Amino acid sequence: MPRALLLENIDPVAAELLGAAGFEVESQRGALDEADLTAALDGVDVLGIRSKTQVTAAVLRARPELAAIGAFCIGTNQIDLVRAAGAGVAVFNAPYSNTRSVVEMALAEIICLARRLIDRDRALHAGSWDKSAAGSHEVRGRTLGIVGYGNIGSQLSVLAEALGMRVLFYDLEEKLALGNAQACTSLEELLERSETVTLHVDGRAGNAGLFGAEQFSRMPRRSLFLNLSRGFVVDHEALRDHVLSGHIAGAAVDVFPEEPREQGDPFTSVLRGLPNVILTPHVGGSTQEAQHDIGRFVAGKLVDYTATGTTNLSVNLPTVALHGSSVARFALLHRNVPGVLARVDALVGEHGLNVDGQVLATRGELGYAVTDVSGPLPADLLDALETLPEAVRLTTFARRGR
């Protein structure tokens, strides 16, 4: 029976789907460090993680039999994707499943900051009645600047406009504006024209330190700032300085350069205790609806891959989906050089089999071919395929009914 290890409190629907597909499933609430993860992967075929667990090259080397990794979140920068691809380990994530949850939280925080609801709440809890309109504003008519116009940024754009906000956006790639949103030609232009700035960038290394003292100083005085993207993108010391000086009137931060590994661990940040600052523990996408959808989506991809070799929406392998049925199926991940498919088909023919269906895709230095054949796979054919000079990983699949 294949084994699956799910870490970081992944929604139970993932274990249910994997269990129904024949996996023995072990679930753990917390993340694991490199040494503990290496030990825990003994005998594991499929690994499920969220954002805290780091799957390094050393981890992948220690468990060469690992077939696939599911990132039950949007980002995959916690996984060595190049090493995983080279080892034939498919990686899947959930790029869309929690988009709405993040967008709704961003909108809620924009309104809370504009109305200074956090300060009003704290005052009442402290026993002080502070009924005043000072510093409290509607969001209608304000200009929202969105840095990163992907799935989250673009949906936020539409809903913010419905609230009466003017929307500007900046992205490294040219993006089609939705509604009445306007693209800015530079980050500097967006900062100078926006009263509220929200970050929705990805985890690429080039975004480290994207937002610091220079960027905060370009924003109009008494602006609002949000980061629900990646913790390493923002200089928190610079943000603290600009909040204390009054240049930034309020901020909401959901992600941090260093985050506790498990529930209940202590949290430290230079942003703690600041006025009109909302701090949340990386919960932008953590609604029950989003986590259920993510669990179902990623587990489904893992089941499809291990059962049929389908790599649709894999983030590191060529995309292949071979439909139909046959007596047997194998998948060969190989180095992307000319002639590999011809040699594969020749070997199939030499062993008295016909190719019933076949699909090949390439991605960079790798090629991935899935082949259906007309009869059971002889052991010597599998040996021949595995020993091809270009072979990276050969996978066979259970008999499939006609």
Q: What is the mean pLDDT of residues 206-219?
A: 95
Q: Which of 63, 115, 166, 282 is catalytic?
A: 282
- Report the CATH number that the domain containing residue 402 is assigned in CATH: 3.30.70.260
Report the percentage of the chain scoring pLDDT > 90. 91
Whether residue 262 has pLDDT greater than 90: no
Whether residue 402 has pLDDT greater than 60: no
Q: Which of 230, 236, 329, 393 is catalytic?
A: 230
Q: Looking at the structure, do residues 65 and 211 belong to the same domain, yes or no?
A: no
In this structure, what are the phi and psi dihedrals at residue 96, rounded to the nearest 5 degrees?
-125, -15
Q: Looking at the structure, do residues 343 and 395 belong to the same domain, yes or no?
A: yes
Q: Looking at the structure, do residues 335 and 385 belong to the same domain, yes or no?
A: yes
**Domain carrying residue 158:** 99-279
Look over the chain and give the mean of its residue pLDDT values, rounded to a whole number.
95
pLDDT digits (tens, 9 = 90+) for 163-179: 999 999 999 999 999 99
How much is the pLDDT for 159? 98
Q: Looking at the structure, do residues 48 and 139 belong to the same domain, yes or no?
A: no
Helix (H) or strand (E) holding 356: strand 355-363
Q: Is 230 a catalytic site residue?
A: yes
Q: Looking at the structure, do residues 86 and 145 belong to the same domain, yes or no?
A: no
Whether residue 50 has pLDDT greater than 70: yes
Any idea which residue has 């409190």 for tokens?
A: 9
Whether residue 6 has pLDDT greater than 70: yes
Whether residue 391 has pLDDT greater than 60: yes
How much is the pLDDT for 399? 56
d(CA 265, CA 269) in angstroms, rounded, equals 13
Whether residue 30 has pLDDT greater than 70: yes
pLDDT digits (tens, 9 = 90+) for 134-168: 999 999 999 999 999 999 999 999 999 999 999 99
Q: Looking at the structure, do residues 196 and 335 belong to the same domain, yes or no?
A: no
How much is the pLDDT for 95? 87
How much is the pLDDT for 401? 42
Helix (H) or strand (E) holding 177: none
Q: Looking at the structure, do residues 336 and 390 belong to the same domain, yes or no?
A: yes
- Report the CATH number that the domain containing residue 49 is assigned in CATH: 3.40.50.720
pTM: 0.83
Q: Looking at the structure, do residues 370 and 250 belong to the same domain, yes or no?
A: no
Whether residue 203 has pLDDT greater than 90: no
Q: Looking at the structure, do residues 271 and 355 belong to the same domain, yes or no?
A: no
Whether residue 73 has pLDDT greater than 70: yes
Whether residue 400 has pLDDT greater than 60: no
Whether residue 128 has pLDDT greater than 90: yes
Q: Is 161 a catalytic site residue?
A: no
pLDDT digits (tens, 9 = 90+) for 85-94: 999 999 999 9
Q: Looking at the structure, do residues 190 and 293 belong to the same domain, yes or no?
A: no
d(CA 93, CA 119) in angstroms, rounded, equals 38
Q: How many other C-beta atoms can be found within 10 angstroms of the C-beta atom of residue 70?
A: 30
- Beta carbons of 305 and 90 less than 8 angstroms apart: yes
Whether residue 316 has pLDDT greater than 50: yes
Binned at pLDDT 50, 70 and 90, residue 220 comes out as: very high
d(CA 50, CA 325) in angstroms, rounded, equals 34
Q: Which of 34, 104, 259, 390 is catalytic?
A: 259
